[in-house]
Amino acid sequence: MLSFSLFTPVLAQNNKDANYDFAKDAGLNKTSEAAGYDTNGKTVNSYISQIITIVLSMIGVVFLGFTIYAGITWMTAQGNEEKVSRAKEMITESIIGIIIVLAAYAISYFVLKATTGSLIQ
């Protein structure tokens, strides 16, 4: 009994399959194929990363639209200081929004890459 407990850590360290990959080792692909589902190599992680990419892209387009609208408002203000100041505020707010979206994209890319190995594409 004592000798088994002494050699167990050595056997565990020499095991080349010590890294467990859930996607490969859980057997979910075999189970889904036996049940008649076609996974095409897609995982939940890839779907989540696609959803994040789509949502952040649409939000970025919205802020770009606000920037263009503010620029048009500024150009058509015709010297009206109230419209010009509102257009400047909209441009500032939309640039801050674009920076926040880019930061959210960078954070989500880092988190997904670090935790699952899935990349946002």
d(CA 11, CA 17): 12
Give the 3-state secondary structure of residue 103. Answer: helix
pLDDT single digits (tens) 38-78:
667 667 777 777 888 899 889 989 999 999 999 999 999 99
pLDDT digit string (tens) for 20-40?
666 666 677 677 777 777 667
Which residue from 51, 47, 29, 26 is spatially nearest to 38, judged by alpha carbons?
29
Domain boundaries in the chain?
Answer: 44-121
Whole-model pTM over 0.85: no
CA distances from 87 to 64, 95, 104 (A): 14, 12, 25
Write out pLDDT tens, residues 75-118: 999 989 999 999 999 999 999 999 999 999 899 888 877 776 55
Q: How far apart are CA 81 and CA 48, in angstroms?
A: 46
